[in-house]
Amino acid sequence: MTKTIVKQEKTQIEKIEKSSFFKETMQRMVKGAGAKVGVALLAVIVISCLLADYIAPFSPTEMDFTALFAKPNARHIFGTDGMGRDIFSRILYGGRYSLALGLSASLLGTAVGIIIGSIAGYFGKKVETVIMRVMDIWSSIPTLLLSILIATALGEGFFNTILALAVGEVPVCVRLIRGQILKERCKEYLEAAESINCPKAVIMFQHLLPNVISPVIVHMTMGIGSTITMAATLSYIGLGVKPPTPEWGALLSDARAHILNYPHLIMFPGFVIALTVLAINLIGDGLRDALDPKLRS
Amino acid sequence: MKKRFVSLLLALCLILTLAACGGSKGKPTGDSSEPPANESPSPVQEVTPPPVDTARRTTADTDERYPKVVIGLNSDPQNLSPFDPNAASKPYIFFEFYECLFDLENNEYIPVMAESFEHIDDLHTQVKIYDYIYDHAGNHITADDVVFSYQTLLDSGFAIKYSAFADIKKVDDYTVEFTWNYPLDSVGVLEFPWCRTFIFSQKAYEEGNFATNPVGTGPYKVTHFTSGSKVVLEAVDNYWQKDESKISDRHKAKVQTIEYTINTEAAQHVIALKSGAIDFSQVVPDENLKDFEGNEDFSIYVTPASRTFFMTPNVEGAFTSDINFRKAVFYAIDNEALATATGGTVAAKALGSGFFSDYQKSWEDEKTYINTYDPELAKELLKQTSYNGETIMILTSNAELHKNIATVVQNFLTNVGINSDLTLVEPAQLGNYTTQEGWDLFIHDLGGGSQLGAWNRVFNRDEFANGKAFGFIYDDTLQNLYKDALKVANYGPESITELHNYVLENAYATTLVCGKLNMVYNSDIANIFLREGAYLLPGSCDYYLD
Amino acid sequence: MAEYILKRCLALIIIVFATAFIIFTILYFTPGDPARALLGASASDAEVAAMNEALGVNRPYLVQLGDFFYDTFIRFDFGESWVYGRPVYEELAARLPRTVLIGLSAMVLNLFFGLLLGIFAGTHGSKWQDSLTMAIAMVFISCPDFWVALMMIVLFSLKLGWLPPYGIGGPEYYIMPIICASLGGIAVNARQTRSSILEVYREDYITTARSKGQRESVVVRRHMLPNALMPIITTIGTGFSRIVAGSAVIETVFSIPGVGTYMLSAINGRDYPAVRASVLFFAVFTCIVMLVVDLMYAFVDPRIKAQYSRVRRAKVQ
């Protein structure tokens, strides 16, 4: 009898321990309405883009020379561009590239920034000084110009564009994280963790990071949207992905010359970008609320 | 929950309102439920300008000047030094305040600062200049200044197309002697040495900075220059040429002030025209031309330009070395549809542009791969080659128009089963890729003073470091035909046509589209004057004075 | 404190050297050459080669690097722009005021409206005011800047005729560019402020202050704002770099000859002296801004100030 009770208690304890930090965060996140909407919206967009082969009525490169600059109608629900290509199909296929570009570049830049920033903020003194000076050099060259220089040097292409876009993110994240850590560094729980000989890596990533990560997450979610728009600027200068890739930014810059007479060319891609950025931001807000240690009870 | 949805809805509404505002501020959208059948805009080929209204007073009748005209440019001249007058928008500005010894008109050299010239022998020519030329600062122009101008140009490195020029020296105060490297028996060989080399005073050049404050001899002087933004010219009251009969149309000053403003966005030119901020633009997009139709305040003038888009294959490429493959590629492209799809161009029907005086209209009458669209024939020809679905490379620049043309060409090729990949490089560096290996098709644009001159950079192998013509062509017959056609003695429709047909027989190149000037201007301008048929000279236009 | 500032100034010099080296190397390995850009497509290969030789770009890497460092740091000669034909510093001196005017004005607007909207949203957290403000911010971040610019031009220039469509001149030429340049930043600042305020909102000392009977506005001003200020200061600091970079697009649409368009045309034209000099100017500018930001950290947060003084005191002992 006692054995079963102990066993039951044990399994219950195991169950509680197995519930990890990640799971908890996810559970808390989806409780908020905003995050629910964000996840749903992003899911719709991502799935539509992944299923573009089945949903899109036309191929993104198919040109119909009898229907150039067609306004939205029954056949082309978002209209066509100057070469007779269906905008709706191009948006669906283009989503794959844009989402991948935005996410990869932001994640890459932020991840590198978080690691470097945590090291700088936690270890302080010489390490911090050296890292911050390197970051100063890095960020002294304006982001767009650095992206243009790197894109010019590397040439066009998908992966080169990701690199060119990611470089701008790193010093900003480093500064943000370090600023937050400066605030947190004097708090007692860190002293407590150090006094029990907790490994430095554990202190940094398990105790310190969750408390300082909120502004970085907010910044990253904003960053994905601006990365997609920066890709549009690079496309305009001619350094982004190569045609006929229907990346959303390329759609925007193609539409630039025709804004006055054919606003539908810029309206629909712009609208889709706005929706995507909105969804990502809602998710980011939800994540921030979920990660806030004050709310955890 | 409700509030989040409300915020989401509000955000959507705001975006839609902003976007819809954009829609309603542009052209009113028509009923969009009809099938798109005839909605495609067709390219406006040519529009003749309204004729001069003889009932009204114009500047042609009197000495009075029109007060001010504002011209919209779409690229930045960057600096006003007298070298490199072909770059960006310099050809539109420079010829109002700088002058050369001669002007080029229909391959003839019309004296301007030169009074006369005399060929001493095959390799020497003496040129006498007027003895009463003064620049805007009052400096007297003498033979020393002429020699100095040429020397400074050569030292700067900007002396292009100067292969005939060997030396220049002073003979007396107003006469110089040119020494040539070879007898001048080619057409247009002195275009750059005589008609694009500006003459200025050595004193003014050394004492000032011509990059921002040039001192020339032309009918206008520069009063204001902000690089990237604005150039202002004022008419000169004491122009040096007092003999009215010797002042050609190009050196008149019919308007008091010319202001050039710079903006690279075509949409901004349309807005500026409509709001009256500028009086002239030649980059109005096709789709906006109809905005100005029927409007009394504006006139429209559309005319072909010299710029022609060539597609040159690599005759040493894996597949493009096979003439059947090349012909397949050329027959697969529909130039008419290409022009419609890319906007701002007209389809090429022969190996050049109707803009040039030595272009022969008869070339368009024959059925060639340039004016024929035959995908079935293309597929047939393809079967006769060893091509099996591999990917070939199309090289061009990432400028808007090149990019669009290449994208449509790629589409046409895919339709007949040729797979291709686009490689885009920076426009400024495009010229460097001609001698690099790896590309199969090269799309580039060419212009020039004559049709033959425009072909120089394609068929003349002396232009290239590797000793082969564009596309790695090494064909003695081609080279000889080209050089012979250039000789003044042979120059004429027959030799040019022979060259034209030889190129087509061997499928060495094709043309895709030609540029055109879409000009919209203030109807106060009675008559548009284009230098060499391409560059607006505001000082030489006629204006209504009432 | 003074020691800290001195250290940072020395570091500035090192940063400038390092940036110069990086920029030179990136340009050296970028494909393309200046002569082809200057002479155009119709020049023959021989003419292009001759000009490259004359410009000195064929010399070995170390020779060119040495020349560049000698000219820039010892003779303070930033070289002559190959494209513009006049000394680089002259052109920059003419263009810098325009970019700085737009940049600084946009930053002031960002700060003012961003803080205002952010505090408004943050203090009303989770109510309709919060959602509405954030929705408006969202819209402004999502719209492409050239679209907003062109729509404004159509409205204010074409339809109403109040403002000129492009160019430079009196203050009316700068109104639209400044507004367009600031919109995105206002939204970003508003979001960041709101997020910081929300964090601080839940702190114990806020509850304490309220329970003491403090007026809400005093609570916001004296307790919330200083603590929420850290990330905001960072964002403002980086905002300068962002605005300068974004100026390239605004300057193109409104045809304002500023440093953004200068750098773009210099990169396109492979005008190496111009690119190097402009980037160096920006490096120095940005470093000074960063130094100010770091000093403001210490100014705003007394704990950080104490850290620096503690370090000093510890050393003296």
Element (H, E) at B72: strand B66-73
Topology adopted by domain B2-24+304-516: Dipeptide-binding Protein; domain 3 (3.10.105)
Residue A15 pLDDT: 54
Q: What mean pLDDT is predicted for residues A123-139?
A: 82
Q: Please tell me if residue A183 touches chain C, with a CB cutoff of 8 Å.
A: yes
Spell out the domain ranges in chain B.
2-24+304-516, 74-247
CA distance B478 to B158: 29
CA distance B169 to B498: 40
Which residues, numbered 232 to 261 in chain B, qualify as contacts with chain C under a Cβ-Cβ cut-off of 8 Å?
261
**What pLDDT does residue C184 have?**
77
Which residue type does B506 have?
N
The string of pLDDT tens digits covering residues A149-200 is 888 888 777 888 888 888 888 888 888 888 888 877 777 777 787 788 888 7
Q: How far is A119 from chain B (nearest CA, A)?
A: 38
**Are both C238 and C116 inside the same structural domain?**
yes
Domains of chain A: 33-295 (1.10.3720.10)
- C95 and C70 co-located in one domain: no
Q: How close A47 comes to chain B (CA, Å)?
A: 20
Decide which of A120 and B233 is more confident. Answer: B233
User: Which among C164, C168, C252 has the least Cβ separation from residue B264?
Assistant: C252
* CB contact residues (below 8 A), chain B span 160-219, against chain C: 160-161, 209-212
User: Are B446 and C43 within 8 A, CB to CB?
Assistant: no
pLDDT at A8 over 80: no
| Nearest chain B alpha carbon to C85 | B211
B36, closest residue in chain A (CA to CA) = A67
Beta bridge partners of B111: B102
Spell out which residues of chain B touch residue C93, defining contact as CB-CB under 8 Å: none
CB-nearest partner of A82 from B22, B32, B343? B343
Q: Which residue has the higher pLDDT, B286 or A35?
A: B286
A118 pLDDT exceeds 90?
no
Q: What are the tokens at B520?
A: 């919209």
Angle, nearest 10°, between helix axes C88-123 and C259-268?
120
Q: Which residues of chain C does A277 touch, with a Cβ-Cβ cutoff of 8 Å? A: 138, 141-142
Asked if residue C190 and residue C46 are part of one domain, the reply reads no
Rounded (5°) CA angle A43-A44-A46:
65
Confidence label for B257 from pLDDT (cuts 50, 70 and 90): very high
- What is the Cα–Cα distance from A33 to A31, expressed in whole angstroms? 6
Looking at the fold, whether C297 and C156 belong to one and the same domain comes out as yes
Residue among A136, A143, A214 whose CB faces C242 most closely:
A143
Range of the domain at C64: 2-74
> Between the CA atoms of B242, B247, B253 and B258, what dihedral angle is there, to the nearest 10 degrees?
-120
Instruction: Give me the residues of A, 89-108, that contact C with CB < 8 A.
Output: none
pTM over cut 0.95: no
- Secondary structure of B259-317 in HEC code, one letter for each residue: EEEECCCHHHHHHHHHHCCCCEECECCHHHHHHHCCCCCEEEEEEEEEEEEEEEECCCC
Residues C49 and C95 in one domain: no
The answer on pLDDT for B12 being more than 60 is: no
| Domain-embedded: residue C86 | no
| Chain center to CA of C60 | 34
Residue A2, pLDDT score: 59
Residues of B in contact with C138 (CB under 8 A): 11
End-to-end CA distance of chain A: 34
**The tokens of C62 are what?**
């170390």
Q: Could you tell me if C35 and C98 lie in one domain?
A: no
Nearest by CB to residue A133, choosing from C11, C22, C279, is C11
| Residue C272 C-alpha, separation from nearest chain A C-alpha, in angstroms | 12
Q: Which of A65, A262, A275 sits opposite B40 (nearest CB)?
A: A65
Instruction: Say if the Cβ atoms of B272 and C166 lie within 8 Å.
Output: yes
The encoded tokens of residue B365 equal 């009458």
Chain A partners within 8 Å of C289 (Cβ)? none
Between residues B225 and C294, the one the model is more confident about: B225
Locate B9 and state its tokens.
């809805």
pLDDT for the residue B18? 43
**Closest chain A CA to residue B40:** A68
The CA distance from A89 to A60, in Å, is: 5
> What pLDDT, on the 0 to 100 scale, is given for residue A293?
57
Q: How many CB atoms lie within 10 A of CB B1?
A: 10
A43: confidence class by pLDDT, cuts 50, 70, 90:
very high
Q: Please state the domain count of chain C.
A: 2
Strand B542-543 with B525-527, pairing: antiparallel
Region of A123 please: left (phi>0), alpha (psi -120 to 50) or beta: alpha
Best B14, B81, B395, B430 residue to mutate vs chain C (most C CBs within 10 Å): B14
Co-location of C181 and C35 in the same domain: no
Q: How far apart are CA B295 and CA A13, in angstroms?
A: 84
Q: Are residues C170 and C145 in the same domain?
A: yes
Give the mean model confidence (pLDDT) for residues A196-214.
77
Do C156 and C36 sit in the same domain of this protein?
Answer: no
Give B-chain residues touching C269 at CB under 8 angstroms.
428
User: Which residues from chain A sit within 8 angstroms of residue B398, using beta carbons?
Assistant: 156, 238-239
Bridge partners (DSSP) of residue B108 are B105
- pLDDT tens track for A75-85: 899 999 989 99
Contact A270 C142 (CB under 8 A): yes
Q: Which residues numbered 189-218 in A keep a CB inside 8 Å of some CB on C?
A: 214-215, 218
| Cα C174 from Cα C177, distance rounded (Å) | 5
Yes or no: domain B74-247 corresponds to CATH 3.40.190.10: yes
Are residues C6 and C108 located together in one domain of the fold? no
Of residues A216, A239, A232, the one with CA closest to residue A169:
A216
- Would you state the pLDDT for residue B280? 96
For the question of an ipTM over 0.90, the answer is no
Separation in Å, CA of B444 to nearest CA in chain A: 16
Which CATH number fits the domain that encloses residue C208?
1.10.3720.10
| Shortest Cα distance, chain A CAs vs residue B22, angstroms | 6
| Closest-CA distance of chain B to residue C268, Å | 7
User: What pLDDT is recorded for position A294?
Assistant: 55
Residue C81, domain member (yes or no): no
Is the pLDDT reported for residue A296 higher than 70?
A: no
Task: Name every chain A residue with its beta carbon within 8 A of the beta carbon of B343.
Answer: 82
Check if the beta carbon of residue C185 is closer than 8 Å to that of residue C118. no
Task: Tell whether B468 lies on the interface with C, counting CB pairs under 8 A.
Answer: no
With beta carbons under 8 A apart, name residues in chain C contacting B157.
35, 47, 50-51, 54-55
pLDDT in tens, chain C (317 residues): 778 778 878 877 888 888 888 888 888 888 888 888 888 777 888 888 888 888 888 888 888 888 888 888 888 888 888 888 888 888 888 888 888 888 888 888 888 888 888 888 877 777 777 778 877 877 777 677 777 787 888 888 888 888 888 888 888 899 999 998 888 788 878 877 887 787 777 777 778 888 888 787 887 777 777 777 777 777 777 677 677 767 778 888 888 998 888 888 888 888 888 888 888 877 777 777 777 777 777 777 777 666 666 555 554 44
pLDDT value of position B32: 36
pLDDT tens, position by position, B111-146: 999 999 999 998 999 999 999 999 999 999 999 999
Contact between B306 and B454 under an 8 Å Cβ cutoff? The reply is yes
Answer whether residue B496 shows pLDDT above 80. yes
Are A229 and C199 an interchain contact pair (Cβ–Cβ within 8 Å)? no
- Is C248–A140 a contact, with Cβ atoms under 8 angstroms apart? no
Report pLDDT for A238.
Answer: 65
B39: alpha, beta or left? (left if phi > 0; alpha if psi -120 to 50): alpha
Task: Identify the pLDDT of residue B382.
Answer: 92
C68 and C103 share one domain: no
Four-point Cα dihedral A46, A48, A49, A54, nearest 10? 150
B506 vs C42, higher pLDDT: B506
Which residue from A minimizes the CA distance to B7?
A34
* Domain-located, residue C109: yes
Give the closest-approach CA distance of A155 to chain B in angstroms: 8
**Is B79 within 8 Å of C85 when comparing Cβ atoms?**
yes
Residues B436-445: tens digit of each pLDDT: 888 999 999 8
Q: Is B1's CB within 8 Å of A61's CB?
A: no
- C-alpha distances (whole Å) from B60 to each of A183, B252, B524, C20 are 79, 11, 13, 59
Contact at CB, B39 and A67, closer than 8 angstroms: yes
User: Closest chain B residue to A273 measured between Cα atoms?
Assistant: B15
Best CA proximity match to B298, nearest among B519, B517, B523, B518: B523
Spatial distance between the Cα atoms of A118 and A126, rounded to a whole number of angstroms: 14
Residue A153 sits at the chain B interface (C-beta within 8 Å): no
Chain A nearest C-alpha distance from B362 (Å): 29
Chain B residues closer than 8 Å to C43 by CB: 160, 431
Q: Is residue C173 part of a domain?
A: yes
Residue A288 CB partners (closer than 8 Å, separation 6+): A214, A217, A218, C195
- The residue ranking higher by pLDDT, A25 or B215, is B215
- B11 reaches A (C-beta below 8 A): yes
The mean predicted confidence, pLDDT, of chain A is: 80
Is B400 in CB contact (< 8 Å) with chain C? no
C49 & C187 share domain: no
Minimum distance, in Å, between the CA of residue B4 and any CA atom of chain A:
6
Structure tokens at A26: 């996810």
| Assigned domain for C285 exists | yes
